[in-house]
Homo-oligomer: A and B are copies of this chain.
Amino acid sequence: MDGCLHCVFTWQKACSIFHTQGWKHLRRSFSTEKVIHKDHSLPNPSWSKDLRLLFDQFMKKCEDGSWKHLPSSECKVPQRIHSFKTYFLDSKPVKEDQLSQARPFTRSYEVGQGFEYAMFYNEDEKRTVCLFQGGPYLEGPPGFLHGGALATMIDTTLGVCTISCMGLFMTANLNINFKSPIPLCSVVVISSQLDKVEGRKVFVSCNVRSVDEKTLHSDATGLFIKLDPEKSLT
């Protein structure tokens, strides 16, 4: 397969599969024996009042089963999970000592410094919402969030939306409009939805708004390509 894929499949997303599609699917892919599972998407002392209030509101929505909270974990499965890389392509191998230090990008900072977020999924509406607070280590322009940090969370949210609805996918295209800068350490709501499916292609979109919904910070579209466990991607 030519010209296809990138990085939706993070640990964070893998973990969402644990909870939306069960362990069986991931066990099959990873041949894992033991998983250390800690949920990083629960409130911690770095969360602002805005983030806590929004989290509580969405947890309330989960009570009738219409929304589900998607846990976010590092899922530290040593060594063998990395056999996943053979899934991808005949790329230059990564040294084991480097892999042993690997951390999922969106959970690689200490609490409060980087990406603080929680995700919720509505199966009927094929929607995923990410409540995101960008910490002080994600600065772009002085006092504002870096565009790459927002792109990271947009990629992650669209990826989770796709995976939650359709299974394992990788990003093929991201098209992001940056409308208004996001003040550092503030909270935004990334609302994504599945728009269309064409064969192995899934089209998703999202917008990024302030907590009071008055400011549209960004909108974006994503194209994702389904991973086929029986096929190499090259």
Contact = CB atoms under 8 A, between A and B. Distances in A.
Interface of A: 3-11, 81-82, 84-85, 88-89, 91-95, 98-99, 101-106, 108-109, 113-114, 136-156, 170-181, 183-186, 210, 215-216, 218, 234
Contacts of A179: 3-6
A153 to B, nearest CB: 7
B146 A148 contact: no
Given A147-B174, A151-B151, A141 B9 contact: yes
Given A7-B144, A137-B105, A139-B105, A94 B183 contact: yes
Number of copies: 2
B184 A94 contact: yes
A187 to B, nearest CB: 10
Given A3-B179, A181-B6, A186 B94 contact: yes
Contacts of A113: 101, 108
Contacts of A234: 180
27 contacts: A3-B180, A4-B178, A6-B140, A81-B142, A84-B141, A85-B144, A89-B181, A91-B215, A92-B183, A94-B143, A94-B183, A94-B186, A98-B184, A99-B184, A102-B139, A102-B143, A103-B136, A103-B137, A104-B140, A105-B138, A108-B113, A148-B153, A151-B151, A151-B152, A170-B181, A172-B177, A174-B174
